[in-house]
Amino acid sequence: MSYLRTAILLAAMTALFMGIGFLLGGQSGMVIALLVAAAMNLFAYWNSDKMVLSMYGAREVDARSASELYALVGRLASAAGLPMPRVFIMENPQPNAFATGRNPENAAVAATTGLLKMLSRDEIEGVMAHELAHVKRWDCLTQLLGQTACSLYWFNPVVWLASRELRIERERACDDQVIDLGTKASDYAGHLLDMARTFTSSRCSSLATLAIARR
């Protein structure tokens, strides 16, 4: 849902920039406005980790301040052949987690206190493995490309549909990578169902954005 809101915002901003550019400078002004919008998107991608972590008020943790979570992420990163990402915790009762960063060398993963309190260790491991799969697949870049396409072709519903399907496929691919790391498909699906029941019984307004693997 946050992806859709971001894409809509980028599309609206790009259309607004292009409209103002056209009013001020005709077709050449519209092209300049488009280049400015593209530069803004690139800046957002390059600084995505700093921007989103700051927005959520996340605090960085290490082996001393959050030993269990930090060790878990380190083990998962090593198994996935990734460098150790920075680890953050957000003070928020809602269960959520995400990965950010422009590449695996500049990646960060974050989890809310609500997620860490509600889920079992195995469930947290599944969530963080899924987020690290996004890092390994460079999904921040593909997300930017999808959002940029929606911004440029905001009037074309086919582009929005393709972007949505890309996002769904991205989530499924990450589920597959979690299973490739050694988690049984049945166990992983069971953890996801357990998490859904936990969040529903707790009347949480937001859920961890995971898709059940279809193996």
Catalytic residues: 131
Cross-strand pairs, 59 = 89
User: In terms of C-beta density within 10 A (0-12 exposed, 13-18 middle, 19 or more buried), how is residue 121 classed?
Assistant: exposed
Direct distance between the N- and C-terminal alpha carbons of the chain, in angstroms, rounded to an integer: 25
In the sheet with 86-90, reading across from the earlier edge strand, the strands are: 59-61, 86-90, 108-112, 97-100
Cα separation, 124 vs 108, in Å, equals 16
DSSP H/E element including 187: helix 185-201
* Ramachandran region, residue 61 (left: φ > 0; alpha: ψ -120 to 50; beta: rest): beta
Cα separation, 194 vs 196, in Å, equals 5
Q: Measuring CA to CA, how many Å separate 126 from each of 5, 80, 109, 160, 174? A: 26, 13, 13, 29, 11
